[in-house]
């Protein structure tokens, strides 16, 4: 068994283009333009090499790993390509050790595709930011028209499928800080989403995220604190990963997602041409931020070679912040310094606190105060401060 960090998640870029044009997209609206040189879809020989490398890696490590079809819009690969890949993967991998999922905008879902996903035990997570007036802030098509109705049609297909309970993994929403979190929460719950997660918009110290007035402001932290209140007050809540992770970390547990806590994550991205890259969210920092110096490719290189390399180990180490401000912070064990892309500045590289530092603090302090009010003070990693009463 090879040394090195184990693979936790592999993102397969089955398509390098997208059929919609989100204003906040880190791929198509960011500083990196490498996607223009990528094949639009994974070719059969690359699909075959990906499957072989994943099987090879599964034999080399004790722990299982998640396989996520991503994009662009992964459904642009088409039925035949998806069927070939998913059937081959599922024939070799058990559901328990190697869950397979798709992150999609939902507009291209069909009954035929859902039957395929049910057959291959492939779960589906749909990106939607809320009701139409919220979703239309950022998620429009290439002509500037709303994508909401098309996404809702896809969700309705999911919801009506016989295997709905397995297929529908949940919703992923990008925070629009100007939107009322209560309206978003109620909409997603009424949608029947079995789980929710919320993402910050991309930004850094050179380019503040939309809706954030300055580094010290807490628009996003206040928004998430309100969601946490709604979640805790709901007599029949559905899981919200950002809330659950925050609560678990405040009580001394572990996060299930990169960007919080101090657990390292072994994440790799495989592009449509087979190139192996770092987490592609790094593209929001600068052109080429997600590329390894050695242009490894699944057609010629095993994943274990990449995972054991000094360059990958250095990349995985980016999860721990460089900034002394972060390292001295009492909330570091919970915050984890946030995602590396949010720390970037041209002047200091990644040696900065997250641009969302004060938002993280606001939400964590709010969560600590709420948990304290629930009688969980003895289990808390940090104590509530007087100025953050519930």
pLDDT tens string 303-317: 999 999 999 999 998
Measured between alpha carbons, how far is 250 from 228 in angstroms, rounded to an integer?
A: 13
**Rounded-to-integer distance, Cα 145 and Cα 87, Å:** 35
* Cβ within 8 Å of residue 284, ≥6 positions away: 26, 30, 31, 32, 202, 203, 204, 341, 344
Q: CB-based contacts of 194: which residues, under 8 Å, 6+ apart?
A: 165, 168, 169, 170, 238, 239
Beta bridge partners of 297: 275
Q: What's the half-sphere exposure (Cβ side, CA atoms, 13 Å) at 271?
A: 23
Cα–Cα distance, 118 to 234 (Å, whole number)? 31
Q: How many CB atoms lie within 10 A of CB 24?
A: 21
C-alpha distance across the termini of the chain, in Å: 50
Structure tokens at 316: 């995985």
Could you tell me which residues are beta bridge partners of residue 168? 124
Counted residue by residue, the chain has a size of 390
Give the span between the Cα atoms of 262 and 71, in whole angstroms: 27
Is this structure's pTM higher than 0.75? yes
SS3 of the chain: helix, strand, coil, percent, to 5: 40, 15, 45
Burial per residue of 213-242, b for 16 or more beta-carbon CB atoms within 10 angstroms, e otherwise: eeeebbbbbbbbbbbbbbbbeeeeebebbb
Residues (pLDDT < 70) of the chain are 1-4, 257-259, 261-264, 386-390
Cα 340 from chain centre:
13
d(CA 292, CA 186): 42
Q: How far apart (Å, rounded) are the C-alpha atoms in residues 263 and 256? A: 9
Q: What's the distance, CA 137 to chain centroid?
A: 20
Nearest Cα neighbor of 173 from 109, 142, 129, 210 is: 129
Write the pLDDT tens digit of every residue in 178-207.
999 999 999 999 999 999 999 999 999 999
- Do residues 44 and 4 touch, judged by C-beta distance below 8 A? no
Strand partners, 13: 70
**Closest to 383 (Cα-Cα) out of 221, 250, 248:** 250
Give me the pLDDT at residue 1, please.
41
Helix (H, G, I), strand (E, B) or coil at 196: strand
Measured distance CA(332)–CA(44) in Å, rounded: 44
Using an 8 Å Cβ cutoff, are 64 and 98 in contact?
A: yes
Give CA–CA dist 215/336, Å, rounded. Answer: 18
Instruction: List pLDDT tens digits, range 251-307.
Output: 999 887 666 766 667 899 999 999 999 998 998 899 899 999 999 999 999 999 999
Task: Give me the domains of the chain, ranges plus CATH numbers.
Answer: 9-315 (3.20.20.70), 320-388 (no CATH)
Q: How far apart are CA 101 and CA 108, in angstroms?
A: 16
């Amino acid at each position: 068994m090879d040394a090195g960090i184990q693979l936790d998640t592999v993102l397969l870029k089955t398509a390098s283009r997208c059929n919609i044009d989100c204003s906040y997209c880190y791929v198509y609206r960011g500083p990196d333009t490498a996607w223009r040189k990528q094949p639009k879809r994974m070719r059969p020989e690359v699909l075959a090499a990906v499957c072989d490398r994943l099987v090879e890696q599964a034999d080399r490590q004790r722990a299982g790993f998640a396989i996520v079809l991503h994009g662009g819009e992964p459904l642009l690969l088409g039925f035949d390509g998806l069927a070939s890949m998913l059937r081959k993967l599922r024939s070799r991998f058990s559901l328990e050790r190697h869950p397979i999922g798709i992150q999609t905008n939902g507009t291209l879902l069909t009954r035929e595709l859902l039957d395929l996903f049910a057959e291959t035990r492939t779960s589906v997570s749909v990106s939607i930011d809320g009701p139409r007036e919220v979703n239309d802030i950022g998620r429009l098509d290439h002509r500037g028209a709303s994508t909401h109705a098309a996404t809702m049609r896809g969700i309705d297909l999911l919801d009506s499928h016989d295997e709905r309970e397995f297929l529908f993994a949940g919703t992923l929403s990008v925070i629009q800080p100007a939107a009322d979190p209560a309206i978003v929460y109620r909409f997603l719950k009424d949608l029947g989403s079995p789980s929710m997660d919320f993402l910050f918009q991309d930004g850094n110290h050179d380019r503040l995220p939309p809706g954030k007035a300055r580094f010290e402001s807490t628009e996003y932290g206040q928004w998430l604190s309100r969601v946490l209140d709604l979640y805790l007050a709901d007599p029949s809540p559905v899981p919200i990963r950002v809330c659950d992770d925050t609560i678990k970390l405040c009580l001394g547990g572990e996060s299930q997602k990169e960007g919080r806590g101090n657990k390292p994550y072994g994440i790799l991205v495989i592009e449509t041409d087979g190139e192996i890259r770092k987490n592609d969210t790094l593209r929001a920092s600068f052109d080429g931020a997600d590329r390894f110096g050695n242009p490894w490719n699944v057609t010629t290189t095993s994943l274990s070679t990449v995972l054991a390399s000094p360059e990958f180990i250095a990349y995985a180490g980016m999860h721990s912040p460089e900034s002394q401000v972060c390292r001295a912070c009492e909330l570091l064990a919970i915050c984890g310094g946030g995602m590396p892309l949010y720390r970037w500045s041209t002047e200091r590289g990644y040696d900065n606190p997250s641009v969302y530092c004060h938002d993280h603090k606001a939400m964590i302090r709010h969560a600590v105060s709420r948990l304290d009010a629930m009688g969980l003070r003895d289990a808390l990693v940090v104590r509530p401060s007087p100025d953050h009463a519930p």
